Amino acid sequence: MNIKPLKLNPEYDILVTGGAGFIGSNLCAALLENGNTVRCLDNFATGKRENIESQLENTNFELLEGDIRNLSDCIKACEGVDYVLHQAALGSVPRSIKDPITSNAVNVSGFLNMLVAARDAKVKRFVYAASSSTYGDSENMPKVEDIIGKPLSPYAITKYVNELYADIFAKIYGMETIGLRYFNVFGRRQDPNGAYAAVIPKFVMHLMNHESPVINGDGSYSRDFTYIDNVLEMNVRALASDNKEAINTVYNVAYGERTDLNELICLLKEYLSNFDPEIANVNATYGPKRQGDVPHSLASIEKAKNLLGYDPQFDIKIGLKEAVNWYWENLK
């Protein structure tokens, strides 16, 4: 995505943690294209070298292989940077249910290390990946930032704790922080493989291989699926905003519409069958509901629109077409 219209000063040096992951690698690419100097801190726990391979020759890009659980790695990573876009974490609700200790170590202790390192390096602003999972069991729809429920998984707890720490660091140490509650992000480079793969790339891979995608539940669960380029836009707006009322708070990052899993499968089949007509005949199968899953998720994006001027350009259909093209070209 070209972020130039958002007028981010290309002089800024920016640290992207988790920069070899799905969202992080897209951030690195967009910032480098804008002319910024980018440092990527990653331990490749879930990120991939191939996601940043094409940047390694770029003299504005620096890869720091390290772990946010080590404070010394975080200190090194923050040295001399203007801004931090903190994406490194262990995602996935099921992963956190299977191994809450590791999710907590990375997502909570690692987050705290990054806050301390960013504070001590006097970075201008710390923008971090929060999560829609923080809404937990709240039945309020659409989700507005101030009304949350009780967390439904260890992962959700870790992401909520991030928000609490960021708030305290703003209040006690005068740091500038902004949390971005991402809602089911999808797009190029999202990993389709492994037990904890997200639903869109997993379904795409199954359909491309003429295998039935397995839906957990009856397919009526819905999500505010958010294309990666909308997420890039919000990160840049959060980083660059000079509106003092817009900082030290959290924002929903979504498109503001929801799609259920049955509709999602229909759209994917439609777009993929442009490449291979036989995909139109592949049908989904249905399995048990997953623990920790909320039935529906839909964001209000009014706060981001009002305070940051967020204006998402990619609805689910445009995003899915782009994503499907990318998977077909790169992974088929």
Ligand X SMILES: NC(=O)c1ccc[n+]([C@@H]2O[C@H](COP(=O)([O-])OP(=O)(O)OC[C@H]3O[C@@H](n4cnc5c(N)ncnc54)[C@H](O)[C@@H]3O)[C@@H](O)[C@H]2O)c1
Site residues, ligand X (CB under 6 A): 18, 20-24, 41-47, 67-69, 87-91, 106, 110, 129, 131, 182, 184-185
What span, in angstroms and rounded, lies between the C-alpha atoms of 241 and 7?
A: 11
Q: Which is closer to ligand X, CB of 45 or CB of 144?
A: 45
DSSP 3-state percent helix, strand, coil across the chain (nearest 5): 45, 15, 40
Q: Residue 216's beta-bridge partner residues?
A: 287
CB of 27 to ligand X, least distance (A): 9
Name which of 230 and 279 has its Cβ closer to ligand X: 230
The answer to whether 196 is a known catalytic residue is no
Nearer to ligand X, 143 or 282 (CB): 143
Tokens of 135: 């809404």
Residue whose CB is less far from ligand X, 69 or 321: 69
Closest CA to 185 of 303, 94, 290, 319: 319
Amino acid making up residue 11: E
Cβ 227 to ligand X shortest distance, Å:
11
Closer by beta carbon to ligand X, 185 or else 316: 185
Nearer to ligand X (CB atom), residue 279 or residue 314: 314
- Inter-residue contact 223 to 258 (CB < 8 Å): yes
Peptide bond between residue 151 and the one before it cis (omega within 30 degrees of 0): no
| Identified catalytic residue from 12, 83, 135, 155 | 155
CB of 11 to ligand X, least distance (A): 26
Measuring CA to CA, which residue among 223, 232, 233, 236 is closest to residue 263?
223
In this structure, the chain runs to a length of 332
Q: How far is the CB of 305 from ligand X (least distance, A)?
A: 20
Residue whose C-alpha is closest to residue 113's, from 160, 159, 69:
69
Burial of 85 (0-12, 13-18, 19+ CB in 10 A): buried
| Cα end-to-end span (Å), the chain | 23
Residues 238, 181: Cα–Cα separation, whole Å: 12
Q: How far is the CB of 219 from ligand X (least distance, A)?
A: 19
What is the token pair recorded at 237? 């707006």
Q: How far apart are CA 328 and CA 205, in angstroms?
A: 9
Measured CA to CA, the distance from residue 251 to residue 308 in angstroms comes to: 9
Q: Nearest approach, Cβ of 145 to ligand X (angstroms)?
A: 15
Show which residues are catalytic: 155
